Structure 1
Amino acid sequence: MPFNILIVDDHPMTVDSYVNLLSDESFSAVEPLFIKSYNCETAYKEIRSLKKQNIPIDFAILDVSLPAYQQQNISNGIDLATLIKETHPGCKILLLTMHTEIFIVNRVIEEICPQGFISKSEVNFESFPAICKKILSGKIIYSDEIIKSQKKLAQRNFDWGEYDSQILNLLSQGIKMIDIPNHIPLSLSSIEKRKAIIKNHFLLEKGGDIELINKIKQLGFL
């Protein structure tokens, strides 16, 4: 049975580089079968198609920032990782990101708890296959920048939760604050407090909802 590796990145050259690095005989005794994708839509369809065929994904390498698939509410690599965990529970997941802001790092670790989470600025042609081999051997690998972000979050004592993500998502859809309690089980005052905290951390209280959503999208949350 082939060893199926899903690689999703919006830069085809990056995808091809990963394939070349993981095609070396020294990487795996089993010849890998690569499934390449460059956006959330094609990746979503591949993941679903493989599930229907009872074909497992053994290893997934996902960029966090990807072109979204709005029809299925798949906005980034984090959402793809959630889908993979649901449909291919035996898959080991490596997420790569250019953004190591504490909110993104905490969301990934809390929601996905991936086997690997790496800042792209800390990986090169030599270290990448070594990281992948360690993950496949059962180790959990987080890069230094990711660990630093975790420490910053602990120092700030800011607890980012699922409701915070839902509030941001609803705001981005144009849902008014007064109507958000109809979508999540929180009071309007609780929602306003959460939004104020988010706004303080993202914008230092400067700007409105539009600026907040734009900043969040820039950082890969939506």
Structure 2
Amino acid sequence: MKKHLNILIVDDHPMTVDSYINLLSDIDFEENKPNFIKSYNCKDAYSKIFFYIKQEINIDFALLDISLPPYEEQNINSGIDLASLIRKKNPNCKIVLLTMHSEPLTVDNILKEIKPEGFISKNDINFELFPVICKRIIRGDIHRSKTIIESQRELFKQNINWDSHDNQILILISQGIKTTNLPNYIPLSMSAIEKRKASIKDQLLKTKGSDRDLVEKARKLGLI
């Protein structure tokens, strides 16, 4: 008797979700029968994730677009937040993140925080490759698409070796978040954040400068 392979697909374009399902439906899952769970935004996906948790049923494979309509009441603002939730509640689920963005710091932050089994730039896939990659990931492979790998190489070439908190500091500053409010987003003390911020400025600016100077330099380098 075949077991259900529960596959969560979240994208804000219903036609894209249906396309993914059509492509994955052609895969021979051998002893498993795919059960597709469709969602188009963070709120609905959040609800379905917890529905399966309450039923004590695992989600085996999650295919998540990064840019999604948020669920602000639960602070679930993207596919990254959904991936983090799934990691905590369903650690054996294989997660694939899809994106149109490949900024080095953002990519590095996602890889360090989520450690997805698959991280794919939408520019790198086509109808033939997509099901092949997904089947390999379901079987246990790790996949990073060409653009994601190149983004990591670019960060390495810049000779910057920050951890995820450093990445978050720079990303949040670029989004207009004031330093005094950063402890609301990052689990560090104000003094620790200020020390890290000073180190980031030393590495990028080589001299003293404003937050605006820091963000402009990071954008010129293609880091954000």
Q: TM-score, normalised by structure 2?
A: 0.80
Q: Which one of 171, 182, 203 corresponds to residue 216 of structure 2?
A: 203
1:184 aligns with 188
| Segments ≥4 residues shifted beyond 3 Å | 159-162, 164-176, 178-183, 194-202
Contact residue 64 and residue 77 of structure 1 kept, 8 A? yes
Q: Quick one: which of 131, 140, 143 aligns to 2:142?
A: 140
Q: Which runs of 5+ in 1 are unaligned?
A: 207-215
Query: Partner residue of 2:198?
Result: 193
Letter aligned with residue 193 of structure 1 = A
Counterpart-to-counterpart distance in 2, 1:80 and 1:175: 22
Question: 1:167 deviation in Å?
Answer: 4.1
Distance 1:181 1:119 in 2: 31
Q: 2: distance between equivalents of 1:170 and 1:104?
A: 11
1:128 maps to what in 2?
A: 130
* Structure-2 separation of matches of 1:13 and 1:189: 45
Q: Name the residue aligned to 2:117.
A: 115
- Quote the residue 1:104 is aligned against: 106
Count of residue correspondences: 207
Q: Does the 8 Å contact 2:180/2:190 carry over to 1?
A: no
Deviation at 1:178, TM superposition (A): 3.7
Contact 2:109 2:168 in 1 (8 A): no
Q: CA offset at residue 105 of structure 1?
A: 1.0
State the alpha-carbon separation in 2 of the partners of residues 3 and 139 from structure 1.
17
Determine the C-alpha separation between the residues in 1 that align with 2:18 and 2:86.
22
- Alpha-carbon distance in 1 for matches of 2:18, 2:45: 16
CA contact (8 A) 1:94 1:116 kept: yes
Of the structure 1 ranges 186-195 and 99-108, higher mean CA displacement relative to structure 2 is found in 186-195
* Candidates 32, 42, 45, aligned match of 1:43: 45
Q: Which amino acid aligns with 2:103?
A: E
Pairwise CA distance, 1:103: 1.2
* Conservation of the 8 A alpha-carbon contact between 2:166 and 2:197: no
Cα distance per residue 1:29-65 (max 9 Å; x no partner): 2220000111111111111121111010000001111
Aligned to 2:208: none
| Match status 1:95 vs 2:97 | yes
| Unaligned runs of at least 5 residues, structure 2 | 205-210
* Structure 2 residue matching 1:2: 3-state secondary structure: strand
Q: Taking structure 1 as the reference length, what is the TM-score of the superposition?
A: 0.81
CA shift for structure 1 position 155: 1.2
Deviation at 1:189, TM superposition (A): 3.6
Change (3 A) 1:102 1:167: closer
- Amino acid in the other structure paired with 1:204: K
* Identity within the alignment, %: 51
Q: Is the 8 A contact 2:79 2:97 kept in 1?
A: yes
Give, in whole Å, the separation in 2 of the partners of 1:175 and 1:123.
34
Distance 1:205 1:51, change over 3 A: closer
